[in-house]
Amino acid sequence: MPDVAPSSPADAYAALLQGNARFVSGGRLHPNQDADRRSELAPRQKPFAVLFGCSDSRLAAEIIFDRGLGDLFVVRTAGHVAGAEVVGSIEYGIEVLSAPLVVVLGHDSCGAVTAASEAAHGGTAPPGYLGDVVERVVPSVLAARAKGHTGIGEFVDEHIHRTVDGLVGRSVLLANEVAEGRCAVVGLSYRLAEGTVNLVASHGLDA
Ligand SMILES: [Zn+2]
């Protein structure tokens, strides 16, 4: 299937939503997954979006957005927690590869958010480096609670929001790209059962 890569933030966002709609309806096109695409890309990649999502096995990026090789520059961690290497990887996607969109992808029933909620409720921190992940989600849970929210779904939305704001707040490179209109950052919440995404936060996109 011939496929022209989106080059503006709005077009990139629209392409992802269209792919997700195909996934939800069962009408996937599986674009850019053949040998021709593999050959075409071998010399260089030019992904149209950076996808920073939770590592949850049900959030496979190219599947739920019906995309293929070379389309998405994917960074995923449990609970989409963003340490320095993560921010650097996202900066690589927008600065070196010129992707016009960064998507933060969270989801309902997120285990990391649930663990953070339990830890914030006075439970014990999990062992090993698991604690490091949970520790980075706890502030979102506390912020949501301070607004009167009590459900995991609301904690997830707050965590997506804070992840988006945190990326733009910490990365000068990203903030500059957004300010100059070359890049947008959006936060999407994915529903595991339905396969749909919901816009939760946005910088630089009139949506
Ligand atoms: Zn998760």
pLDDT score recorded for residue 2: 44
Question: What's the CA-to-centroid distance between 36 and ligand 1, angstroms?
Answer: 34
Tell me the C-alpha distance between 69 and 48, whole Å: 11
Cβ(144)–Cβ(155) under 8 Å? yes
pLDDT score recorded for residue 1: 43
pLDDT score recorded for residue 96: 98
Question: What's the CA-to-centroid distance between 53 and ligand 1, angstroms?
Answer: 8
Q: Which residues surround ligand 1, an ion (CB under 5 A)?
A: 54, 56, 110
Tell me the C-alpha distance between 68 and 61, whole Å: 10
- For 192-201, what is each residue's pLDDT tens digit? 999 999 999 9
Question: What's the average pLDDT block by block, 10 residues per block, for the chain (207 residues)?
Answer: 78 98 96 96 97 98 98 98 98 98 98 96 88 96 97 97 98 98 98 98 85
Question: What's the CA-to-centroid distance between 205 and ligand 1, angstroms?
Answer: 25
Query: Comparing C-alpha atoms, which of 203, 196, 201 is closest to residue 25?
Result: 196
Residues found in the chain? 207
Cβ(198)–Cβ(116) under 8 Å? no
